[in-house]
Structure formats: structure tokens, C-alpha cells
Structure 1
Amino acid sequence: MPLWPVYTGTSEPHDGIDRLPPPPPWRAFDGHPVLPVPDERADAAAVSPDRSHRAATYQATEETVQLVNAALYLRRPLLVTGPPGTGKSSLAYAVARELRLGPVLRWNITSRSTLHDGLYQYDPLSRLYAARQGPQAADAGIEHHLRLGPLGTALLPYDRPRALLIDEIDKSDLDLPNDLLNVLEEGQYEIPELVRSARHTPEGRAQVMVDGTDERVPVERGRVRCRAFPFVVLTSNGEREFPPAFLRRCVTLRLRQPDDRHLAEIVRAHLGEPDERARRLIERFLSRAGAGDLATDQLLNAIYLARSADLDATSLDDLAERLMPYLGQGAQTDVF
């Protein structure tokens, strides 16, 4: 029987993803050969202490749980918007951990990012250098100079979805959201260099390295088509508007600053039951949040130091002021 919700937000890993109902007919994919999802420890960066901690302690709201499941059922990307520090990027790690989707593939977007960067990288100079080493090196094949990017890897024909985080899509060039439309809609792409190379090889199959590891996977005739559509999380700080055609193809989740109850849950998950000092800092955080953007990790830093150092009330207030500046006064990463 189908399972709802598949993602529960409890942080307890399970295999409920195998009980998703069939996709809508217009979102059914049949890529092959079928590949197993790699073990979550296959990518050392994806299981760093920071990312592992975020995945295990993420506190999902009821709205978050509902819309994550909608994206999973509909096989659609999830566009997560909200102020810095509200847990946009952490959500991808939490879902991947609970549903056992393997290492999270991460694509950090800048103003110079292109669709090509996300799909694959090809180094023609290394191939030219190999050709100069002699016929044996030159015959190694074009696939030895090519690696799939995070998006290109996520669209491989895995037997269950991979988790892909496309972080800060609002920092991209104006064309990137539109460029993503066709690939995310069709669930497939071509690698022209391999398409041309396949004309000269009887089997037409290349072994290509994937993102995050040195593992190689087969790509037939230079064409990649997914089987289980990946769980794609696109994050945005709300700094720009997106084209209607892009928004129509996404499930949109808007995160807000947590209230006092949710903050207490977050503190409890990271640092244990809030004591008197922690509650004092939570109240101060909430009173300041109305006048500007604050990130939850600022509060967690202040509570950790308050517990670790012997501070009187005046010193504690002064510490909170210094550790919780408004984000407009300086850069702050989206950690929690």
C-alpha cells in the first residue's frame, strides 16, 4: 500500500520511499541500466560532522512535512524560500537521512553557474595531453576526461531517488532557472562528446565518473535518463522573482522565522533541554527578530557559550548582543 507521509520529520531512518505510489503518467521515467543508490558514506564530504548533525537534528514543521511529501509523490522539485538561517539547506540532508537516499549531491550556485556546470565537466586539455603521451594513452577514451556534475549524477537511472541540493538559486544568472526547466521536466540530457564518440564504438557504452566519488557508471550512447526522479531542493533567500514557467513546475515551501515553541524544539534537539539561561536567550532572540533578520545558529552559539562559561546576567546580555547581530550587518551562513 502507498505510504503517506513518506517523510515524517522524525529523523528516524526507514525504507518508506519504496512504498511511494507510481508517479503521475506525465512524470514516469524508464532510464536504464538501473543503478543502486550508493551508501551514504561513499562521499566523505556529504557525511561531514556538520552535515550529519544537521540531518539528525532538523526540526520540520507540519507544513514542511506535507510539502516535502507532495514533491516526492508528484516527482517535482521543491523550491524552498525564506530568510537566511531558517533551515533551507538542512532540509535536503534531513530528508536524505530519513529516507536513506544516499549522499546528498550539492550544487552551490553563483552568478557564473551554468546548466553545463551542473550536468558534467569535460576537460579537453587533459585529453590533448594524453594524446601526446602515445597511442595507448590516446585510446583510453573520452570518458576518462569527463565527470558528471551534481545535477547530471542525480539524473542517472538509480533505483530510488537521489537527493540533490541546488543551493541559492536566486544568485544565479537570469537564464539559469529557464535553462533548468527542460532538464527537470524531461528527466534526461545528452553529453554531446559521448554521443559523437559512440558512433565509433560498437557497444556505445562509456564508463563515466560521478559527482562526489571516483565511482564510474555506464552511460549508453551519451544519453542519461533518470528512473526514479531525484528529490531536488532548490533554495532561495527571496532576493529575486522567478519566471512563472519555472514556478509552475515546482512545489513551493516558504519557511519563516520559528516561534518560541519551535525554537525550544530546535534548542532541545541540538543542546538538550533549555535551562533558565537558554530560555532568557530565546526570549532575547525573539524580541530582536522583529527588527531584522537573525539566524537560528546565532542563538545556538550564544546558548552553547552561556552553558560553557560562567557569566552573570549582564555579561550574558552583552554576549548575546555580540553573537546575534542582524544579518544585514554582516555575512551569515544558512546552517540551521
Structure 2
Amino acid sequence: MDHVSYPYFTGNPEKKRTDLGVGLPVSRRGALTAPEKYRVRPELVDAVNVALTLGQPLLVTGEPGTGKTQLAYYLAYELNLGAPLKFETKSTTVARDLFYQYDTVGRFQAAQMGGATQGAALGQRRGAVDYIEYQALGKAILFANAPGHYQAATPGDFQHPGQRRSLVLIDEIDKAPRDVPNDILNEIEGMYFKVPELGNLELQAEPAYAPVVVITSNSEKSLPAPFLRRCTYFHMPAPSEQELREIVSLRLEAFDSTSPLLTDALKVMEQIQLPRNGFERKPGTSELLNWLLVLMDRGYRVDDHLRRKTDWIDPCVTALFKLQNDQSKARKLLPQLSFDG
């Protein structure tokens, strides 16, 4: 199948496409997130090994776009633990949500219609279990036991892959209410949880298969001290220029660390980061990679320069900046940037 070239969208109704969109480009995101191309800092290696030795969660903080989430995918890849079981934290998250969710409304409606199991205590538990949906940490604890070990806690449609160790990613825990980290202190330390809807049944991971837990946060300041004491902590700093060169050359194979296009793009990034320019949400590594992908799609070669050109500015603004005020500032600043010095 032939793919059309850039621009894919023209804003001209007379150029309406006739191929039902099948010629549009396939997403390039896979090239930017492949775990085997993750760049690991030496000091991060030490932090991961400390967490594994102590059996503690690894808490990783840092600015957005510094690679916190991708670390979990790389760690699962290198340790051969399969795809991470990911829990995406929300402002409405409660502690139970990390382990399971219970469909109270569905259970009530079934009872009203006579569909809930009645009678013996075991029958009541089996009726309740059908309204449980296990989440990342709950699944990992069940997977750490042989299939059927917790039969009374297993819904009929639950897929158990066989006893295995898993990696759990609890992403952006700072979004949760402050009491959530405190409410899971003992459960994460002991790798267990209780299910009140099943007569307070306790489920615990077999120690040899206890999950590896990675927790990310944009700021350690919002996390309570007792929670921090139970974690191995690592702060992911913003990458240096040389590290960015290495990351780009790993993720985008057309580049090497000295490509002129990359050098000019990094000069743009350097000047954007200057405090005097006043950007509220400064772009990170992922935004840089996105911008370079767009430039390549527009016909730029790795040995091209940005200086004395202006057609890179619009894709730069839309790829790098996520706030209206920042985009407005960028449209004024970028044409004036100097690539010398």
C-alpha cells in the first residue's frame, strides 16, 4: 500500500482524500518507546539493585518526560517479567483501587433481580466474587501464587497465566489524595491485601514470586514520610546535552550523536530552558523526539541545519509546547534565536 507524503492534511476541501485514510502514516511512537532502546544511568542501576535487594518499591521522581515511566518497561524487559501491570493514578483513587474494584451497583441490581447467589457462606462469597475486577497490584499478587490457590477469590472469567513474578507500575502516585500512600503502607511492605466483600479474605504473594514495584511521582514533596521510608528513592534529573544526544541516537537510528540537525535542535532546546524566557511548562525528552520525527517527515535530513530557515518553527511550537501562553511566547522567541556560540 502506498503512503501519501507530507502534508497529509491540507485544509483544502478540493483535495479531499478518496482512500478512506488508509494512506495516512503509521504511528511512529513505537520507535520512541521500545524498552530495549532505553538509556540507563549508572546511578540508576545502583538504585534498582538496592530496591531488588531490599524487596522495596522503587520510587522514581522527576520532571515529566525524563523517562520515569519508561524505566519500568525497560526493567520488565531486562528482567524478563513480561509487560508491566500498570496502574494509572487519578485524583479519585482510593487505596483499594490499586488491588481491585468492586461493582457495588451491579451486585445490588443482581440482588434486586434475584440473580445473586443466596444461602451458604461459600455461596455468598462466590456470588460476590463475580463483581470483583482485579487491578495491577491485585493481579500481581494472584499471579505470585499457583492457579487455584485462591479459588474463592477468583472470578470465573479471570485469566491466570501461571505462577510468575510480575512488575507493577504505579504511575504518578502524586495525583492521588494524600492518604492513599499511607493507606497502603503495610500492604505493599507485606505484599498482601484483604477483600471485605469476601469475608475479609486475605490474599498474599508467595515470597519467591513477590512482584517488583516501580512507583513514579512528579514530586516527592507531596508524599508522606512513612511512605518514603518504605521505598528506595531515586530522582531522575533532566538529561545533559550529551545524554540527549545518546538518547536520540538510540531512539532514532537515522541520527548519530553529532548530526547537524540534532545539534541545532539541541541549541533550540537549550535556549528554551533559560529561565529568562519564562516558559511555564518546558519541553522534555519525549517532546524533543516528537519534534525530530516531524522534521524528518517534512523532508529534513540529519545533516541539515535549522539556521537560516523558518519552516521548522511551526512544527516546533506544536510538538514542544502544551500550553497556549507558552506557544504564544515561542512564536515570538524562536525566529530570533541565535545558533552561534
Output the TM-score relative to the length of structure 2.
Answer: 0.68
Alignment CA distance shift 1:155-1:330 (3 Å): farther
- Secondary structure of the equivalent of 2:69? helix
**Deviations 1:216-275 (Å, cap 9, x if unpaired)?**
xxxxxx221112332111111117332221111100010111112211111112111233
Partner Cα distance (1:188, 1:309) in 2 = 52
The residue that corresponds to 2:65 in the other structure is 85
Please identify the structure whose Cα radius of gyration is greater: 2
Partner Cα distance (2:109, 2:317) in 1 = 57
**Deviations 1:26-78 (Å, cap 9, x if unpaired)?**
xxxxxxxxxxxxxxxxxxxxxxx759934232111111111111111111001
RCO higher in structure (CA 8 A, sep ≥6): 1
Alignment CA distance shift 1:323-1:125 (3 Å): closer
The residue that corresponds to 2:263 in the other structure is 279
Among 135, 152, 166, the residue aligned to 1:162? 166
- Give the drift of 1:308: 2.2
Partner Cα distance (1:65, 1:316) in 2 = 41
- Give the drift of 1:125: 3.2
Partner Cα distance (2:139, 2:288) in 1 = 36
Among 238, 247, 250, the residue aligned to 2:228? 247
The residue that corresponds to 2:132 in the other structure is 146
Partner Cα distance (1:240, 1:298) in 2 = 25
Map residues 1-336 of structure 1 onto 2, 5 A cutoff: 50=30, 53-131=33-111, 141-156=127-142, 157-158=144-145, 160-195=164-199, 222-227=201-206, 228-238=209-219, 240-272=221-253, 273-274=255-256, 275-291=259-275, 293-310=282-299, 313=307, 314-315=309-310, 318=313, 319-325=315-321
Alignment CA distance shift 1:193-1:245 (3 Å): same
Structure 2: which amino acid aligns with 1:175?
D
Partner Cα distance (1:136, 1:111) in 2 = 32
Contact 2:61 2:220 in 1 (8 A): no
Partner Cα distance (1:328, 1:232) in 2 = 36
Partner Cα distance (2:290, 2:194) in 1 = 46
Structure 2: which amino acid aligns with 1:103?
A
The residue that corresponds to 2:8 in the other structure is none
Contact 2:32 2:251 in 1 (8 A): no
Count residues in correspondence. Answer: 259
- Give the drift of 1:133: 5.7
Partner Cα distance (1:136, 1:180) in 2 = 31
Contact 2:172 2:218 in 1 (8 A): yes
- Give the drift of 1:279: 2.1
Contact 1:80 1:252 in 2 (8 A): yes
**Deviations 1:164-202 (Å, cap 9, x if unpaired)?**
111111111110111121111222111122236xxxxxx
Alignment CA distance shift 1:99-1:277 (3 Å): same
Partner Cα distance (2:260, 2:65) in 1 = 24
**Deviations 1:277-332 (Å, cap 9, x if unpaired)?**
1221123213323435321111112211222224664225524355333779579x
Q: Which moved more, 1:242-251 or 1:81-90?
A: 242-251
- Secondary structure of the equivalent of 1:84? coil
Contact 2:107 2:116 in 1 (8 A): no
Partner Cα distance (1:329, 1:254) in 2 = 29
- Secondary structure of the equivalent of 1:155? helix
Alignment CA distance shift 1:316-1:78 (3 Å): farther
Contact 2:87 2:169 in 1 (8 A): yes
Structure 2: which amino acid aligns with 1:324?
L
Structure 2: which amino acid aligns with 1:106?
K
Alignment CA distance shift 1:179-1:132 (3 Å): closer
Contact 1:150 1:164 in 2 (8 A): yes
Alignment CA distance shift 1:88-1:327 (3 Å): farther
- Secondary structure of the equivalent of 1:76? coil
Q: Which moved more, 1:50-59 or 1:144-153?
A: 50-59
- Secondary structure of the equivalent of 1:294? coil
- Secondary structure of the equivalent of 2:214? strand
Partner Cα distance (2:326, 2:199) in 1 = 47
Partner Cα distance (2:87, 2:194) in 1 = 19
Output the TM-score relative to the length of structure 1.
Answer: 0.69
